[in-house]
Chains A and B, each alone.
Chain A
Amino acid sequence: MKYTIQINEGPYTHQASDSAYNFTKAALEKGYEIFRIFFYHDGVNNATRLTTPPQDDRNVITRWSELAAAHDLDLVVCVAAAQRRGIADADESARNGKDADNLAPGFRISGLGQLIEGGIIADRLVVFGD
Chain B
Amino acid sequence: MLHIVNKSPFDKNSLESCLSCAQDGSAVLLYEDGVYGAIKGSAYAERLQSAMSNITVYALEPDVKARGIADKVIDGIKLVDYNGFVELTAEKEAVNSWL
Please tell me if the beta carbons of A127 and B86 are within 8 angstroms of each other in the complex.
no
A126-B95, A128-B97 known; A15 and B86 CB under 8 Å? no
Mark contacts of B64-99 with chain A using CB atoms, 8 A cut-off: 1 yes-contact digit, 0 otherwise. 000000000000000001110111011000110101
- Per DSSP, chain A at the interface is mixed
In angstroms, Cα B85 to Cα A125, docked, is 14
- The interface of chain B, by Cβ under 8 A from chain A, is 4, 6, 31-33, 62-63, 81-83, 85-87, 89-90, 94-95, 97, 99
A-B pairs with beta carbons under 8 Å apart, 25 shown: A1-B90, A8-B99, A14-B32, A14-B33, A15-B33, A15-B63, A16-B6, A19-B6, A19-B31, A19-B32, A22-B82, A23-B85, A23-B86, A26-B85, A26-B86, A27-B86, A29-B83, A30-B87, A32-B90, A124-B95, A126-B4, A126-B95, A126-B97, A128-B97, A129-B99
